[in-house]
Amino acid sequence: MNYPVWELYFAGGGLLIAFIAVVHVYVSHFAVGGGLFLVLSEIKAYREASAPILEYTRRHAKFFLLLTMVFGGLTGVGIWFTIALLNPAATSDLIHTFVFGWATEWVCFLGEIVALFIYYYTFGKMRPRQHLKIGWLYFMFAWLSLFLINGIIDFMLTPGRWLEDGNFWSGFFNPTMWPAMFFRTSLAFMFSGIFGILTAVFIKDDATRRIMVRYCGRWVLFPFVAVLVSGYWYFKALPAEIQEMITRRSPELWVYFKWFWIVSAAIFVIGVLKAAWAPQRLGKALAFVLLAIGLMYMGTFEFMREGGRRPYVIYKHIFTNSMRVRQQAEVNRRGILQTARWVKNRQITAANQMEAGREIFRLECISCHSVGGVLNDILPVTAKFSVFGMDSQLDGMGKINRYMPPFFGTRQERLALANYIVRGLHGKKDADEPVVRTDPGPVDVPAFDADKDSYVLLAWNDLGMHCISDSDPYWVLLPPANDLMAQLIKRGPKPEVVTRDVVIEYRVEPDFENPASHVAFWNYAHAVFGKSLKQNIGLSGNGLKGEMEFNAERRVFEADLIPVVPYPDSGGFNPYPMFTITARDKKTGRVLATTKTTAPTSTEMGCRNCHGGKWRVAGVAGFSAETAMDVLKMHDKHNRTDLLARSRRGKPVLCQSCHADPILGAKGDGVRLNLPAAIHGWHANYLSMRGTEACYKCHPSSPRGPTKCLRGIHSKTMDCTSCHGTLEDHALSLLKAEAAGGKAEARRLMAHLVPRKVASVGDVKGRKPWFNEPDCLACHQGYGPAAKGSSSFNRWTAGREKLYRESHGRHGSLMCEACHGAPHAIFPAANPYGFNRDNIAPIQYQQKAASLGKGNCRVCHLKKPGRGGHHDGM
């Protein structure tokens, strides 16, 4: 914000600081521990009156001088140079807060240099007692250096009370300062053993070499125990959120965490080898291996420490990209281009959008990301994104997963940044999804003779749209499983719903008879559902044609879980396959009535909008392998699961095997969130402040898409949010119920969601998915017309039995859907594949696309009925 940013595309991503810091820290710890090592080795030489050991100590001192003073000293200055270039704002904070800490450390540095020069150059020339005194003074200065720097470095991880009082001492004696000090001191001693072995293996005299290698081996082993003990103390002293970041939240840190333990074991084994046997044959090679392992040890620890404080460079004070916590609100309001100093494009226009995006990229991204470099390369992690996906990813940063800072700036700036990454860095064209042309073909409506026909057969699909995840080789969210319902009415002066002595059959139109040749569901049904299914037979045993069963409770004939898919055998995509429903006399087989209905089913699920990959079928729908795998990859990354590996072993996962879901009757494991809450809750964090776009980027309701599932009468004046709320509202309603049930994860997902339909989270009414849904009667009070602008958000049905799709009219005879159509396709519906494709029954029986019997009781009633009707308001 305050400073120019060095545009380090290839060498960025922390490569410079990682390189210089790890080697410096390794050598500088040696510079501390090695001081004591020299003194104690010299004492050992005097005690044992051993000239070879004294000579070894002298030679080791020369090695020590050349390594620690030249390389160690200058790389230390190098770190300072480097951090000032990469994060001047945080460096300035450290300098201004701790200037006298640094200055005191400088005095120690001076003392170290003088002591070390004298120690080495007077070796053998000074009286032993005085020479040892110089050695002790060196060690004192070196350890005090570590003491001072440790306080400041650890301050960055746990600034403690400094955040409130800004006091030097609060920052220095921060909550983890002491455990860190013990940890680093132990490391320093251990490293002095590692470097001791490195010089000891070159001793020519066999006996001396063996003695000294074993001696150094003990220098590795004993401090190693202290490293583990103090390391545990250090870890336990960290605030819970940092512990969690290291062990759970940060995907990359997990690798370092694992390696830390592997390397620990290696150090222990080699340490024991050296201390106990000092093997001759592998001596030199092992010494170098140990040296490399020591460096890895330092590296993994430093990466964990730096990673643990993410997304901050000074915890809760300044982010890794130099953005200050306290500036966030202002920058979001005024914009990063207005508040940062080193910016050329202050306003975004169509002409400069790319250049402005690049400037924002420079300000907010390249302090951690390289472009095509070795570390934290931004290219592979953003390759999958469209501008929309990238923008959404930026939206979600710093919310649920806090290892990256939040985006600072306005919506327009965020879009400019997304545009730069996708179009600029990746060179993608990223045109908007084309408008899908659907074929509004003729709809063949069965005949009905109002004067002669005795029966009215009504059929419908209960949900109005059933989505299918045809990502079967990887995971299953929803299998092909459509439910059809039918009611047969015997017309008369007093019409009655026929429930006996009839057979009601269903049959899909010919082009849709072979779903198994379009989706891999049947190959994985056993692995996913534990059922061996015949081709084209669904989970309940129903196929694409068959008899419906009578459900006495609902007084309806139904065929459930019909495995229809939106892929015609002749090719392409049609999410509204047509079924013919026929009612026959059970005894004679005579056809009593025939009608049709669609079984709406779509694979237009837009996961690819953010997860990458293309559509699998006809360029308009279906899951490509790339999309499906990325979904698993992200799930694995964020939740430490192994779903992708499982799918590769031929065991795709059913989401509901862990997550409860009332629609499938899945109970879940009781710990994790139910599936709708998990999915909406997670993604709402990435799709905030949007309208229906947030809905149709996942669900098949895009106005440009091939399904347009919201097609009923409500689509004329309303959109998804009218009943369901915006995505934030919707997600909060689901999460609140889960939070009330004691699921902590719900609170984590809710933390950054702000409701938009109501004033506060407190005003959102929690609900159970699929059962507490927007109540029709909330707007249609007394079954009357809805007032303009009314919304049923937050006015949920009391339970499953109150759902529209479960409800009957007065007398409990006809189901609501029988006369009004399926949800989202309430009559009159405008189907993109033929206007009346969803209006068959009204057209068939009353030649008018409207609620059945509206002003036309004669559809069923051959004699004018009395007052009241099927519900109030008729």
Partner 1 sequence: MTPVTLVPQPDVLQVPWGWFQALLVFTFILHLLLMNTMLGNAILAVFAGLGRNEDYHAMEKQASVNLPYAIAFTVNIGVAPLLFLQVLYGHLIYASSVLMAVYWLSVVGLLIIAYYCAYIYDFKFEALGSRRTLLIAASAVLMLTIGFIFTNNMTLMLTPAKWQAYFSNPNGTILNLSDPTLVPRYLHFVTASVAIGGLSQAIYWKIRQQKGLEQAASRVAIGMRWFFRATVVQLALGTWFLLALPSGVLSRLTSGALYPTILLIAAATAVLLVLYFGIKQQVWPAAACVAATVTIMVLIRDFVRAAYLEPFFSLSDLKVAPQYSPMIMFLVSFVVGLIIVAYMLKLAAAAGKEA
Distance between CA atoms of 547 and 559, rounded to whole angstroms? 7
Which CB sits closer to partner 1, 18 or 436? 18
- Using CB under 8 A as the criterion, what x/- string covers residues 316-345 for binding partner 1? -------------------------xx-x-
Which CB sits closer to partner 1, 378 or 485? 378
Distance between CA atoms of 793 and 607, rounded to whole angstroms? 25
DSSP string, 689-712: T-STHHHHTTSS--TTSS-----S
Which CB sits closer to partner 1, 7 or 585? 7
Which CB sits closer to partner 1, 13 or 538? 13
At 31, the amino acid letter reads A
Which CB sits closer to partner 1, 35 or 828? 35
Residue 88 sits in the site that holds partner 1 (CB under 8 A): yes
Output phi, psi for 15, to 5 deg.
-60, -45
Residue 99 sits in the site that holds partner 1 (CB under 8 A): yes
Which CB sits closer to partner 1, 128 or 571? 128
In a 3-state reduction of DSSP, which class is residue 313? strand
Q: Which residue in the set 35, 53, 57, 93 belongs to the binding site for partner 1 (CB under 8 A)?
A: 93
Which CB sits closer to partner 1, 3 or 46? 3
In the block, residue with structure tokens 């020069």: 117
Minimum CB separation of residue 85 from partner 1 in Å reads 5
Number of residues near partner 1 (by CB under 8 A):
66
Contacts of 214 (CB under 8 A, 6+ apart): 274, 275, 276, 278
Contacting range for partner 1; rule: CB under 8 A; set: 79-87, 390-398, 575-583, 745-753: 79-87
Distance between CA atoms of 530 and 519, rounded to whole angstroms? 18
> If we measure between CA atoms, which residue out of 724, 720, 677 comes closest to residue 700?
720
Which CB sits closer to partner 1, 66 or 262? 66
| Length of the chain measured in residues | 874
Q: Which residue in the set 63, 81, 770, 783 belongs to the binding site for partner 1 (CB under 8 A)?
A: 81
Task: Give the E-state strand segments of 683-794 in sequence order.
Answer: none
With b meaning 16 or more CB within 10 Å and e meaning fewer, what string describes 326-365? ebbeebbeebbbebbeebebeebeeebbebbbbbbbbbbb
Minimum CB separation of residue 133 from partner 1 in Å reads 7
Query: H/E element holding 347?
Result: none
Contact 213, 55 (CB under 8 A): no
- Using CB under 8 A as the criterion, what x/- string covers residues 361-400 for binding partner 1? -x--------------------------------------
Minimum CB separation of residue 333 from partner 1 in Å reads 19
> If we measure between CA atoms, which residue out of 497, 453, 494, 484 comes closest to residue 594?
453
Residue 703 sits in the site that holds partner 1 (CB under 8 A): no
Residue 553: CB atoms within 10 Å? 6
Minimum CB separation of residue 24 from partner 1 in Å reads 10
Contact 102, 17 (CB under 8 A): no
Specify which residues 546 forms β-bridges with: 506
Which CB sits closer to partner 1, 125 or 452? 125
Minimum CB separation of residue 302 from partner 1 in Å reads 19
Residue 228 sits in the site that holds partner 1 (CB under 8 A): no
Quote the DSSP letter at residue 482: E
Q: Which residue in the set 28, 57, 68, 82 belongs to the binding site for partner 1 (CB under 8 A)?
A: 82
Q: Which residue in the set 107, 285, 645, 798 belongs to the binding site for partner 1 (CB under 8 A)?
A: 107
Task: Give the E-state strand segments of 502-651 in sequence order.
Answer: 502-508, 545-547, 549-551, 556-562, 578-585, 591-598, 601-602, 615-617, 621-623
Distance between CA atoms of 439 and 585, rounded to whole angstroms? 37
Distance between CA atoms of 500 and 757, rounded to whole angstroms? 48
Q: Which residue in the set 15, 22, 35, 95 belongs to the binding site for partner 1 (CB under 8 A)?
A: 95
Contacts of 708 (CB under 8 A, 6+ apart): 438, 700, 701, 702, 832
Which CB sits closer to partner 1, 78 or 473? 78
Minimum CB separation of residue 138 from partner 1 in Å reads 9
- Using CB under 8 A as the criterion, what x/- string covers residues 14-53 for binding partner 1? --x---x---------------------------------
Minimum CB separation of residue 130 from partner 1 in Å reads 5
Which CB sits closer to partner 1, 87 or 685? 87
DSSP string, 540-570: TS--SEEEPEEETTTTEEEEEEE---S--TT
Minimum CB separation of residue 197 from partner 1 in Å reads 24
Give the angle subtended at the CA of 564 by the CAs of 561 and 569, to the nearest 5°: 165
Which CB sits closer to partner 1, 329 or 744? 329
Q: Which residue in the set 78, 479, 495, 755 belongs to the binding site for partner 1 (CB under 8 A)?
A: 78
Q: Which residue in the set 63, 102, 233, 268 belongs to the binding site for partner 1 (CB under 8 A)?
A: 102
Q: Which residue in the set 6, 222, 550, 783 belongs to the binding site for partner 1 (CB under 8 A)?
A: 6
Which CB sits closer to partner 1, 7 or 205? 7
Residue 71 sits in the site that holds partner 1 (CB under 8 A): yes
Which CB sits closer to partner 1, 321 or 722? 321
Q: Which residue in the set 15, 40, 43, 113 belongs to the binding site for partner 1 (CB under 8 A)?
A: 113
Distance between CA atoms of 734 and 766, rounded to whole angstroms? 6
What is the rounded end-to-end Cα distance, in angstroms, of the chain?
65
Which CB sits closer to partner 1, 76 or 834? 76
Distance between CA atoms of 529 and 525, rounded to whole angstroms? 5
At 369, the amino acid letter reads H
Contacts of 70 (CB under 8 A, 6+ apart): none
Quote the DSSP letter at residue 23: H
Q: Which residue in the set 43, 84, 255, 778 belongs to the binding site for partner 1 (CB under 8 A)?
A: 84
Pair of tokens at residue 204 = 């020519």
Residue 77 sits in the site that holds partner 1 (CB under 8 A): yes
Contacting range for partner 1; rule: CB under 8 A; set: 3-11, 178-186, 450-458, 823-831: 3-11
Q: Which residue in the set 19, 46, 117, 233 belongs to the binding site for partner 1 (CB under 8 A)?
A: 117
- Using CB under 8 A as the criterion, what x/- string covers residues 120-159 for binding partner 1? -xx-xxxx--x--xx--x----------------------
Minimum CB separation of residue 768 from partner 1 in Å reads 52
Minimum CB separation of residue 385 from partner 1 in Å reads 24
Contacts of 212 (CB under 8 A, 6+ apart): 53, 56, 196, 200, 203
In the block, residue with structure tokens 């019997």: 853
Minimum CB separation of residue 20 from partner 1 in Å reads 8
**Cα 775 off chain centre by:** 32
Which CB sits closer to partner 1, 81 or 182? 81
- Using CB under 8 A as the criterion, what x/- string covers residues 165-204 for binding partner 1? -xxxx-----------------------------------
Contacting range for partner 1; rule: CB under 8 A; set: 105-113, 413-421, 782-790, 861-869: 105-113
601-602 and 466-467 strand pairing: parallel
Whole-Å CA distances, 381 to 67, 360, 389, 404, 642: 39, 18, 12, 13, 19
In a 3-state reduction of DSSP, which class is residue 764? coil
Site of interaction with partner 1 (CB under 8 A): 2-8, 16, 20, 66, 69-71, 73-75, 77-78, 80-82, 84-85, 88, 91-93, 95-104, 106-111, 113-115, 117-118, 121-122, 124-127, 130, 133-134, 137, 166-169, 341-342, 344, 362
